Structure 1
Amino acid sequence: MAASTTDFLDIDDLLAEPEKAVRARVRTLVEQEVLPIIEDCYDRGEFPRQLIPRLAGLGLLGMKLSGYGCAGANSVSYGLACQELERGDSGLRSLMSVMSSLVMYPIHTFGSEEQKREWLPALARGEKIGCYALTEPEAGSDPGNMKTFARRDGKDWILSGVKRWISYGSIADVTLVWARTEEGIRGFLVETGTPGFTAGQIPRMMSLRASVTSTLILDDVRVPERNRLPEAAGLRSALMCLDEGRLGIAWGAMGAAMACYEMAVDYAGRRIQFERPIASFQLTQQKLVKMLTEISKGQLLALRVSRLRDQGRARPEQISMAKMNNVAEALKIARAARGILGGNGISLDFHVIRHMCNLESVYTYEGTHEVHTLILGEAITGLSAFS
């Protein structure tokens, strides 16, 4: 067995050939076109927009959806694509997750036929970019307490409020805005050129720098009734979208962990101290063993929940377990790899510090570690810690 392999348990045997083919195509893209440029993008704080057509060309945008130019792949293929993209960078996986799970999925699930035909093919081709606006400055883990409000005005809606920490909001063509109404929470497709809508990138970020994270301001933004998602009713609809995204995150975090582990194994084998490679030291081996064990467990957890998802049997709390566990363990693995690399571990030339900083954001977005813990706690005890 190669020293740096991350398939210690022969998990490949559990994958179908089409699933492996998706993984291989995305891995090739990452190795040939992402890794050569991503460190400089991160250093400059720029998202490599030139890669969007390449993701679209591989059928990754909306890949689980059927029709409207989408690939109709299963959850495992989607997860493996997320894994490989996050081997490159969390920002790329985030773009795929946002587009596929948080924008295209709700349009496909809750939208009118007119909305599906207008937006899904263009989003699948990467000709249009979408973003998902749920989080607010004072409503992160408690989205039901959002302040953004939509009021009727004849045949239109007037939206007012602020959304923050919105991935790709500054470059999006359409924003799915969740807002309170007199009938409850509803979803609206807001074209970003609409008067009263402004988006600005959040500055001075030390994580997800090769991505786009924005604040959106809606100042009496007028949208027609036809832009409301007709089948979206209540906060539950918004949270259904997050379940889609969280499963991709569980896979993606393992991709970042794999990249860090492989770098640590390679470095430890080449780094000579006290006249021998540090890979021969007991404490280094202990760290590598723990890293590989957690990667193996995380892969199996993500795979099992994805199979349940494809069977229509996955429960939200099972997805919470996968997101909670895999991101937390990936962050530990990145930190351990950083330690093995010593001073070189803080250099962008060695990838690890970039993954480690990115995972700090992944740890808290789409449900913090603590929120997912309490979701599981309620599933176990039947008692909610939220109310």
Structure 2
Amino acid sequence: MIRFIFGGVITAAMIFSTVSMASAATAKRSTFGTLSDGTEIDAVTLTGANGVSATIISFGATLQAFRVPDRNGKLADIELGYDNLADYVAHPNYWGATVGRYANRIAGGKFTLDGKAYQLPLNDNGVNSLHGGPGGWDRLPWKVVSVTEGERGASVRMELVSAAGDQGYPGTVRATATYTLDDHGDLTIDYDAVTDAPTIINMTNHAIFNLAGEGDERNILQHRLTIPASRFTPVNANLIPTGELRDVAGSVFDFTKGRVIAEGIRDGQDQQIVYGRGYDHNFVLDAGTTAEPKLAARLEDPQSGRVLEVLTTEPGVQVYTGNFLDGTFLGKSKHVYRMGDGIALEPQRFPDTPNQPKFGSAELMPGKPYHHRMIFRVSTTD
């Protein structure tokens, strides 16, 4: 029995309270580098009691690193990215970045809102607008508004003001990205935005994962993926949805019961795989848009035992299997990232929604704030 020096007994409640205080998630702020105009870029590392940690940099409100244990407790960074600011600036690849104003593709970079036509930059092979344009939110410094820590989790909140006309979009938008890590393996990202004039919005995080560890010799082809979606949106040769909501049953797009990625990623018998050079498609989540986050995808690495679940309030999830990773750019620790070395699971509104009314609405109106909550939940299997 443990006693205080004054003769009192330490109760179970006291022990629990002490452990709880000691295990509260922490936040550490540092400098990640300086842009050419003198703007300093912050890095905030959130760490939970279970060893999970996430580093977020203010350039692009980017998830720069995500360290999680395997079934034996060995930590690895499962997020593809760069070690330094210079590479994020010189070689943008959206790795871990907050993308907006509109994530994914808009056909021809055109949309009409309230009877007025808008033209966006064509930064996707000269035919579409992609991820908000060449000067999208992934390429801008965000302002760190707050850094907090405590028993309910550690968090960092970043803010960006996008002026009317930015990348061709109407309306001035004030957006925030809030990352919160708890002691149980949940990294929650809250995306919020308001506007002073009608515009469109679609925010997500473009993290690319390898549960074996970024740069590991094993790619993601043997990962097992489950998606609760009975339909997906097929695309044309320019990767723009055709408007069809196609059943996944009987195809290589059926992940409803879980399947190993390698089983379909190179199946050229399906024209959709040919168009995407693998998987680069939006899945229509059976739950649709929800008030609270629901499961969008579950990724498992049998060898390490690491599991990643992605939850969202949005109606779709874009699955991208790193098909355009060609070894051109060196990632962390000079790792050469190649096709299939990572997978992005991006919860969002459907691609090209502004031009396809039956997909729903992507409009953001004054007085009606936008909110998207997504969660990266990590765990292990035996």
Q: Mark yes or no: TM-score above 0.5.
A: no
Q: TM-score of the superposition, structure 1-length normalised?
A: 0.23
Q: Give the helix-richer structure, 1 or 2.
A: 1
Task: Name the structure where strand makes up a greater proportion of residues.
Answer: 2
TM-score (norm 2): 0.23
